[in-house]
Amino acid sequence: MEYTHLGRLALKVSRLCLGTMNFNPPFVSEADSFAIMDAALEAGINFFDTADVYGFYYSESQSGLTEEIIGRWLAQNPARRRQIVLATKVYGKMGAGVNDQGLSAYHIRQACEDSLRRLQTDHIDLYQMHHVDRSAPWEEVWQAMETLIQQGKVIYVGSSNFGARHIARAQCAAVQRNLLGLVSEQSLYNLIDRHVELEVLPACREYGMGFLPWSPLKSGMLAGVLQKSSAQGRQTLETWMPQLIEKRRTALQGYEDLCRQMGESPAVVGLAWLLHQPGVTAPIIGPRSVDQLHSSLRAVQLQLSAETLQQLDALFPGPGGEAPEAYAW
């Protein structure tokens, strides 16, 4: 495994981050979740990402289930906690109360306490705001985060699904309080979804923030979906996927043909492409099995040639670079 600094920080994290959103029935059992975390740690992955709302796919009342699974895994061997950088998130609806979601200081405090209890730990290494809360003034947000940092319950603060303007406002407000501010942003980014190249990625580089792509394989579309759907039938696909596949069939076919010529799996190439993008710290992988985890590791070693990168850009054109040059002179 290779390691890199999380943005401007001295903290080092693995080039792949273990995403845990699938760690809940009926997707991945607790036993299989434990096996995946064991294998990740053994492979040198030291960066684990979760969120307080994960588990809601099974039942809305099960929000928090994934954190509980991770907490039980950590409790099995207390030494594991010192081996990982543990990230979770706050924002989502966690109860029926009117203040059980968002980024009010009231909710941030309660959500952090609840996450600590579920994770069976005394601190969160990276506490990420899961979405921008347009109703929460930044002085309120940073006051809450500053208190948690002073109490030793949070070390670093990050964002997720923020626009560049939200990042800029957050950082300006943090500077006024003499705080470190945001250290990372987690956004949708893959060969198909490249909107962040316009402003979010440049903003992260400008502020020295790490960048963590989620859905790096577009829910499996970049993992050889044509071959798999042909072999297994469309009934195995997500309900929204067939229409999107048809829209991009030519590009996807070209992509899978290119990967076949390279002798690499499409999933590995998709992850490797992200690792070649300036400013990307660690794609967040979401394996549902140990085999899927092990296959992802190849992406860290795979070096893509300039010609291959050009071919991938031709198949999946981005927005044209950074703003404003992407759309103006």
All residues at 6 or more sequence positions from 78 whose CB lies less than 8 Å from its CB, including other chains: none
Residue 229 burial by Cβ neighbours in a 10 Å radius (0-12, 13-18, 19+): middle
Dist. CA 81–CA 169, nearest whole Å: 33
For residue 217, what are its two tokens? 């394989």
Instruction: Check if the beta carbon of residue 189 is closer than 8 Å to that of residue 158.
Output: no
Provide the angle, in degrees to the nearest 10, between the axes of the packed helices 105-119 and 65-76.
40
User: For the residues of 207-255, what is the DSSP string, one character each?
Assistant: HT-EEEEESTTGGGTTTTHHHHHHHH-GGGS-TTHHHHHHHTHHHHHHH
In the residue annotation, 54 being an active-site residue is answered as: yes
Report the Cα 24 to chain-centroid distance in Å: 17
Please report which helix (H) or strand (E) contains residue 160, including its range.
strand 154-160
- Alpha helix locations (H) across the chain? 30-42, 65-76, 105-119, 138-150, 164-176, 200-207, 225-232, 241-247, 249-262, 266-275, 290-296, 298-301, 306-315
Report the Cα 177 to chain-centroid distance in Å: 28
All residues at 6 or more sequence positions from 275 whose CB lies less than 8 Å from its CB, including other chains: 15, 283, 299, 300
DSSP class of residue 285? E
Q: Which among 237, 240, 239 has a CA at the least distance from the CA of 223?
A: 237
Bond preceding residue 319 cis, omega within 30 of 0: no
Catalytic option among 54, 127, 156, 255: 54
Residue 41 half-sphere exposure toward CB, CA atoms < 13 A: 18
Residues marked as catalytic: 54
